[in-house]
């Protein structure tokens, strides 16, 4: 019998009162662990001492850089009234693709509160994507997918170039048009994911280079579907570009775009479930899609630890940033 099974058997034999006390003790231990800081989030030095309280939180003083900080400095919990346990649940629901209303009902919060918390998380994911830049190496697949332009969350103005659409409505024009936003994607088989929206309709040379510049490793084999802009990536990186449509029949088993097409299906499913994503927020959600597509049982705990534990990297954003920071304008 392993330790987990043995613990479950012990809990079954406990009284209800004893179980409640056990959970209370575990919660206190968790809260105590959350408040433990080992180093300064500004300089990383461990020469820190307790320095009173600030807004009910333990304040610290760094003897090295002479700065003070609290347990939420450089975390997404900065200037938030919610506990780390609540933030942990919101991060989990965000990565797993649950709706804002689902999280609101489950945690007994307001819609506006969960919306702001979710977008602070999305902004932090964008920061992580920028800091920990994905490099496509070995065999990688490049392709683009398209989603309808969406002005969700605001009323259409008189000068808009189209009338308001209902959820599930189709584009007015047939085929690929400026009503569609292009998401350029790149997937390394078994590794990193890149997803970024930079233009409407079909991407050109400048857009493709803007998305993938600095994200292609030396010697990488890039598989694409024949878009004229992809072969020109050899000018900005030491790589090889292959058109899967021109591959010999004997090599079709290897030269394919199944992985990137799977990413596109994943994005479309999330997009439909969300009933559209406001175009101005689309790149925030692209950062989420890139992480969620490769998620495993270790993804969420590692992400929670990175966002909720103070570090030298500042993942903090304000509510003002939610409505104005790095919006996509096409």
192 vs 133: CA distance, rounded Å: 9
Is residue 37 in a domain?
Answer: no
In the chain, the largest separation of any two C-alpha atoms, in whole Å, equals: 71
22 vs 29: CA distance, rounded Å: 11
Q: Could you tell me which residues come within 8 angstroms of residue 128 by beta carbon, excluding any fewer than 6 positions away?
A: 287, 306, 315
CB 289 within 8 A of CB 96: no
Is residue 76 in a domain?
Answer: no
Domain of residue 158: give its range: 134-297
Sort strands 220-224 and 239-243 into parallel, antiparallel or unpaired: parallel
Is residue 180 in a domain?
Answer: yes
User: H/E element holding 205?
Assistant: helix 205-212
Tokens found for residue 227: 């878009």
- 13 alpha carbon, distance to own chain's centre: 42
User: H/E element holding 242?
Assistant: strand 239-243
* 3-class secondary structure per residue, 18-66: HHHHHHHHHHHHHHHHHCCCCCCCCCCCCCEEEEEEECCEEEEEECCCC
Helix pair 299-308, 111-131: axis angle to 10 deg: 90
Choose among 207, 146, 154: nearest CA to 178. 146
| Adjacency order of strands within the sheet including 139-148 | 193-200, 180-188, 139-148, 220-224, 239-243
pLDDT by position in tens, the chain (length 330): 556 677 677 777 777 777 677 666 665 454 444 456 788 888 888 888 888 888 878 889 999 999 999 888 888 988 888 888 999 999 999 999 999 999 999 999 999 999 999 999 999 999 998 888 889 988 999 999 999 888 887 777 666 667 777 777 778 788 888 889 999 999 998 888 999 998 988 888 999 999 998 899 888 999 998 888 888 888 888 898 988 888 787 777 888 899 999 999 999 999 999 988 999 999 999 999 999 998 887 888 889 888 988 887 888 888 889 988 889 987
Is residue 194 in a domain?
Answer: yes
Q: How many structural domains is the chain composed of? A: 1
Look-up of token digits 């990488």? 220
Is residue 174 in a domain?
Answer: yes
192 vs 183: CA distance, rounded Å: 16
Is residue 12 in a domain?
Answer: no
Give me the pLDDT at residue 44, please.
85
Is residue 330 in a domain?
Answer: no
Is residue 20 in a domain?
Answer: no
């Amino acid at each position: 019998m392993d330790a987990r099974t043995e613990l479950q058997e012990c809990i079954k034999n406990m009284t209800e009162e004893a179980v409640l006390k056990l959970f209370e003790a575990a919660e206190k231990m968790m809260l105590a662990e959350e408040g433990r800081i080992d180093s300064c989030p500004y300089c990383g030095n461990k020469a820190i001492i307790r320095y009173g309280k600030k807004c009910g939180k333990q304040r610290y003083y760094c003897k090295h850089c002479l700065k003070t900080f609290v347990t939420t400095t450089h975390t997404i919990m900065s200037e938030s009234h919610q506990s780390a346990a609540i933030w942990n649940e919101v991060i989990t629901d965000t990565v797993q693709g649950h709706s804002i209303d689902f999280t609101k009902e489950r945690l007994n919060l307001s819609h506006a509160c969960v919306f702001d918390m979710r977008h602070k998380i999305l902004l932090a994911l964008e920061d992580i994507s920028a800091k920990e830049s994905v490099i496509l190496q070995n065999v990688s697949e490049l392709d683009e997918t398209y989603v309808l332009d969406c002005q969700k969350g605001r009323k259409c103005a008189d000068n808009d170039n189209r009338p308001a659409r209902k959820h599930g409505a189709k584009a007015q024009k047939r085929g690929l048009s400026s009503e569609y936003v292009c998401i350029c994607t790149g997937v390394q088989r078994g590794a990193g994911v890149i997803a970024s929206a930079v233009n409407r309709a079909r991407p050109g040379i400048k857009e493709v280079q803007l998305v993938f510049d600095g994200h292609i490793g030396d010697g990488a084999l890039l598989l694409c579907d024949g878009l004229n802009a992809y072969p020109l990536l050899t000018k900005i990186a030491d790589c090889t570009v292959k058109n899967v449509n021109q591959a010999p029949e004997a090599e079709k088993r290897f030269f394919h775009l199944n992985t990137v097409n799977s990413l596109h299906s994943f994005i479309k499913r999330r997009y439909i479930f969300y009933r559209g994503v406001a175009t101005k927020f689309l790149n925030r959600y692209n950062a989420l899609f890139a992480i969620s597509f490769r998620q495993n049982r270790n993804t969420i705990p590692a992400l929670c630890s990175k966002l909720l534990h103070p570090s030298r990297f500042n993942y903090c954003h304000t509510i003002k940033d939610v409505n104005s920071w790095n919006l996509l304008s096409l």
